[in-house]
């Protein structure tokens, strides 16, 4: 197994395109793990996945959840924090996947994620696995 990392411009742009390039160059089954904001910023690149053997896993925590972990997060009024930092994507990722010719599945817990990944890799082709994360639970687990 080979692992690749890509920060992208501003941390979010070009990650889907990079995964498509890796899949094309290696001609091997490829997995992409990406957050909802980064997926939204590069969603046009989903078109590049359609003819590949790739599984894109989109972690949807309702926007830039990483900002919850920064010291200033508690000091910013919630409305400003949402508008300026978390900016929840207003997109339905499974519908977006279908529009770009990808198969899609929603995973709501670890068991359905395991099943989804196994099924997607077994069947081959381009998949988007939409993983819905409860932001508050994620934040408390991280703190623990």
Chain segment 72-115, per-residue pLDDT in tens: 878 888 888 787 777 888 899 999 999 999 999 999 999 999 99
In the prediction, which pLDDT does 142 show?
Answer: 77
List C-alpha distances in Å: 100 to 14, 50, 104.
Answer: 17, 7, 11
pTM for this one?
0.88
pLDDT at 1 over 70: no
pLDDT at 9 over 70: no
Q: Is the dihedral of CA 94, 12, 19, 25 positive or negative?
A: positive
Number of residues written out for the chain: 144
Indicate the CATH number of 30-143 among 1.10.3720.10, 3.40.50.970, 3.30.70.1380, 3.55.50.30: 3.40.50.970
Two structure tokens written together for 92: 């339905």
Two structure tokens written together for 24: 């094309």
pLDDT in tens, 41-57: 899 999 999 989 999 99
């Amino acid at each position: 197994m080979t692992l690749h990392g890509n920060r992208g411009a501003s941390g979010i742009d070009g990650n889907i395109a990079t995964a498509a390039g890796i899949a094309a160059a290696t001609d091997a089954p490829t997995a992409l793990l990406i957050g909802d904001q980064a997926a939204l910023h590069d969603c046009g690149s989903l078109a590049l996945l359609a003819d590949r053997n790739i599984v894109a896993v989109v972690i949807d925590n309702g926007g830039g959840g990483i900002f919850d972990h920064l010291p200033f997060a508690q000091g910013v009024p919630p409305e400003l924090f949402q508008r300026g930092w978390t900016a929840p994507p207003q997109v339905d990722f499974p519908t977006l996947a279908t529009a770009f010719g990808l198969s899609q599945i929603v995973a709501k817990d670890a068991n359905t994620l395991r099943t989804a990944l196994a099924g997607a890799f077994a069947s081959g082709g381009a998949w988007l696995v939409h993983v819905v994360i409860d932001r508050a639970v994620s934040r408390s687990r991280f703190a623990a």
